[in-house]
Structure 1
Amino acid sequence: MDKIIALTRQQREAILQHLTANQVQALSEFTRYAMLSRFHTHHYLKQTDWEFQGMVIDPWYQRQHDHPGDNLYCDCGRRLKNQFILRSRTSGRQLFLGISHFQQHASIPQKVAREIQAGINEINLYMDSILLAYQAGRRFPQEIFQFIVDQQGFKNHEGTIFYQRCNLFSRVDLPLHQRDYQDLQTLYHQLKQGVAHRLTKKEIKQLRDDIATDWRQVDQQITMFNYLLRQHGLTVQDLHRIKSNSINYALQRRKTRFMIHDYKQFKDVTLTKARSQLAIKLRQLSFYLQIFQPNELAKVQCEQAQQILIAHKMSSPKSHFFGIKEAQILLKSKYTI
């Protein structure tokens, strides 16, 4: 059993100081994505009026005097490292909260808040092990990873956090957690031995569920972009036009106009269609990333979207699609008024 070592805030910051900006952002995205998965798996807010809409992490939170990004705040004005975004099911009201204010501002039971905090603590321990491995000189196992990629060994892992973490960490040369490294080695040796694993019905269902969860998290990122558009004064007609253009962009060069609009629909599609729907949703995310990139209106959200695309081995394109230019003009006109 691996020995669990928890770093103090000072120890964590001392190691983070040696990481590049891209490495810090990759760690931040891993933390955010792991927490999103917990929310979807454990249904923390199921018995409340609130639904979870997203999470933003300040990767530079500890650097009060050398902070290169934007600070995050709770609705009470307190500076945050982890900002949770909740929406009322009855009124549509949105809250931007730190975990310590779930009960005070949203009347969420203390027991639920403690469960969420326990999840954050567990993820922080996981991150600490990665930082300690980096401090000890370990880096990403590029040769093993590249062999698996070349042999299409990740074909049945696309919707998993494991696959996305490998993509993120390979890009910035961060070491994997020991359990992830062992999983990577197992996959490597199977491919070396020519073992062709056929998916069971249970594994197919699990993979489809993973893709559905992944799709849902990308959809929440798009929801956050749409919220920012509303905040900057775009009309209902403008928002509808932008959404329609985002769908047209996502479906470009596809033979079908079929597009899932609710993650629950995944239970009725084949694995091939599930993969296709995730690719469409990621392309839709890239549309929103492009319309916001020329300005600073959504710096944190754009950084998160870029990390999501990297995690899925997708580039961040610069398209001349008319809908992107139209949305940029609409956004600019509202921003300059």
Structure 2
Amino acid sequence: MTKIIALTYQQRITILQQLTSAQLAALSEFTRYAILSRFHTRHYLSETDWEFQGVTIDPWYQRTHDHIGENLYCDCGRRLKNQFVLRSRTTGRHLFLGISHFQQHASIPAKVTHEIQAGINEINLYMDSILLAYRNGQRFPRKIFQVVVDHQGFKNREGLILYKRCNLFNQVDLPLHQRDYEQLYSLYITINDGHASHLTKREINQLRQGIADDWRQIDQQITIFNYILRQCLLSPQDLHRVKSNSVNYALQRRKTRFFIHNYKQILGLTLTKARRQLRIKLRQLSFYVQVCQELPATAIQCEQAKQVMIAHEMKDVDSHFYGIKEAKSLLMRSIDV
């Protein structure tokens, strides 16, 4: 059994200070995705009036002078590293909170809050092992990863969390967690042994569920973008126009106009169609990044969205699509008013 070593706060900060801005962003996206997965699988808030809408992580929380855009805050005014977004099932009201204020502002039972905090502590332990490996001189195993990619070891498995983590950490040369490395090395050995990699029915269902989870978390990011645009005083009509343009952009150059509106619909699609819907959703997310990337209030959200696109091998684009120009114009007009 691998010994788990927890870093002290100061040890963690010391190593984080050595990372580049891009490495911090990739590590934050890894942490954010792990938190999302926990909320989606543990259903922490199912017995409350609150619905989990997502989490935003400030990669540059400890870097005051290098900080990009605006800070994240709790509704009480306290600056945050992790900002959780909750929505009331009865009133539709949104709360932006740090984990320590779940009970105070949302009346979420202490037992549930402690359970969530325990999960985050476990994720931090996972991250600590990556930071320790980095401090010890380990970096991303690019040669092994490239062999697996070149021999199509991830074919039909692009939805695996392992593949997305590899895409993220390969970009910035961060080491994998030991368990992730062992999974990657196992694929490498399978390829070297000449064994073909076939998906079982169970694996196909797992991939479809993974695609549905990815679609849902991207949809949550888009919801947060729309919330911020609403705070920028976009009128309901203008916001509706922006949303319509985002869908048109997502479907641009596609033969089908089929566009799902709920992640559960993914579970009824073939794997090919499910992947197609995820790519469409990623293009919609790209629309919001292009529209909002010059807005300081969305700098952290835009960075998170870019990390999601990297994880899914989607290139950062700069489109001249009319709908993007119109959305930027509507946004600038509302800010100037």
Query: Over residues 176-197 of structure 1, what are the superposed CA-to-partner deviations in whole Å (9 max), with x where a residue is unaligned?
Result: 0000000000111112222112
Report 1:252-291 matches (<5 A): 252-291=252-291
Amino acid at match of 1:290: Q
- Give 1:71 deviation, angstroms: 2.2
- Give 1:161 deviation, angstroms: 2.1
Q: 2:130, 2:156 → 1: CA distance? A: 25
**Equivalent position of 2:224 in the other structure:** 224
Q: 2:308, 2:192 → 1: CA distance? A: 30
**Equivalent position of 1:205 in the other structure:** 205
**Equivalent position of 1:116 in the other structure:** 116
- Give 1:316 deviation, angstroms: 1.0
**Equivalent position of 2:181 in the other structure:** 181
Amino acid at match of 2:141: P
- Give 1:20 deviation, angstroms: 0.7
Q: 8 Å contact 2:151–2:191 — kept in the other structure?
A: yes
Amino acid at match of 1:210: G
**Equivalent position of 2:240 in the other structure:** 240
Q: 8 Å contact 1:6–1:128 — kept in the other structure?
A: yes
State the superposition RMSD in angstroms. 1.2
**Equivalent position of 2:80 in the other structure:** 80
Report 1:24-39 matches (<5 A): 24-39=24-39
Query: Over residues 113-158 of structure 1, what are the superposed CA-to-partner deviations in whole Å (9 max), with x where a residue is unaligned?
Result: 1111011001100000000000100000011111122222222332
Q: 1:325, 1:61 → 2: CA distance? A: 32
Amino acid at match of 1:231: Q
- Give 1:67 deviation, angstroms: 4.9
Q: Which runs of 5+ in 1 are unaligned?
A: none
Residue 87 of structure 1 aligns to a residue in which SS? strand
Residue 297 of structure 2 aligns to a residue in which SS? coil
Q: 1:261, 1:153 → 2: CA distance? A: 32
- Give 1:260 deviation, angstroms: 1.2
The 1:297/1:71 distance shift into structure 2, 3 A limit, reads: closer
TM-score normalised by length of structure 1 = 0.97
Q: 1:194, 1:83 → 2: CA distance? A: 47
**Equivalent position of 2:309 in the other structure:** 309
Q: Which runs of 5+ in 2 are unaligned?
A: none
- Give 1:27 deviation, angstroms: 0.6
Amino acid at match of 2:326: E
Amino acid at match of 1:227: Y
Q: 2:334, 2:292 → 1: CA distance? A: 13
Q: 8 Å contact 2:21–2:60 — kept in the other structure?
A: no
Q: 8 Å contact 2:85–2:96 — kept in the other structure?
A: yes
TM-score normalised by length of structure 2 = 0.97
- Give 1:238 deviation, angstroms: 1.1
Query: Over residues 46-81 of structure 1, what are the superposed CA-to-partner deviations in whole Å (9 max), with x where a residue is unaligned?
Result: 111111111111223234x54523322111111212
Report 1:122-141 matches (<5 A): 122-141=122-141
Query: Over residues 201-225 of structure 1, what are the superposed CA-to-partner deviations in whole Å (9 max), with x where a residue is unaligned?
Result: 1111111001100111111111111
Amino acid at match of 2:253: R
Q: Which has the higher contact order (CA 8 A, sep 6+)?
A: 2
* Correspondence 1:68 to 2:67: yes
**Equivalent position of 2:100 in the other structure:** 100
**Equivalent position of 2:91 in the other structure:** 91
Query: Over residues 221-262 of structure 1, what are the superposed CA-to-partner deviations in whole Å (9 max), with x where a residue is unaligned?
Result: 111111111111112211111111111111112111111110
**Equivalent position of 2:17 in the other structure:** 17
Residue 314 of structure 1 aligns to a residue in which SS? coil
Q: 1:105, 1:266 → 2: CA distance? A: 34
Q: 8 Å contact 1:139–1:174 — kept in the other structure?
A: yes
Amino acid at match of 1:15: I
* Correspondence 1:161 to 2:138: no
Q: 8 Å contact 2:61–2:67 — kept in the other structure?
A: no
- Give 1:200 deviation, angstroms: 1.6
Q: 2:23, 2:249 → 1: CA distance? A: 31
Residue 83 of structure 1 aligns to a residue in which SS? strand
Residue 298 of structure 1 aligns to a residue in which SS? helix
Residue 314 of structure 2 aligns to a residue in which SS? coil
Amino acid at match of 2:93: R
Q: 1:89, 1:159 → 2: CA distance? A: 31
Q: 1:179, 1:258 → 2: CA distance? A: 38
Q: 2:294, 2:25 → 1: CA distance? A: 20
**Equivalent position of 2:295 in the other structure:** 295
**Equivalent position of 2:193 in the other structure:** 193
Residue 87 of structure 2 aligns to a residue in which SS? strand
Q: 8 Å contact 1:34–1:161 — kept in the other structure?
A: no
- Give 1:6 deviation, angstroms: 0.5
Q: 1:259, 1:152 → 2: CA distance? A: 29
- Give 1:295 deviation, angstroms: 3.0
Q: 1:254, 1:59 → 2: CA distance? A: 35
Amino acid at match of 1:304: Q
| Farther-moved stretch of structure 1 (231-240 vs 206-215) | 231-240
Identity of aligned residues (%): 70
Residue 7 of structure 1 aligns to a residue in which SS? coil
Between Structure 1 and Structure 2, how many residues are aligned? Answer: 336
Q: 2:152, 2:176 → 1: CA distance? A: 20
Amino acid at match of 1:291: V
* Correspondence 1:323 to 2:320: no
Residue 203 of structure 1 aligns to a residue in which SS? helix
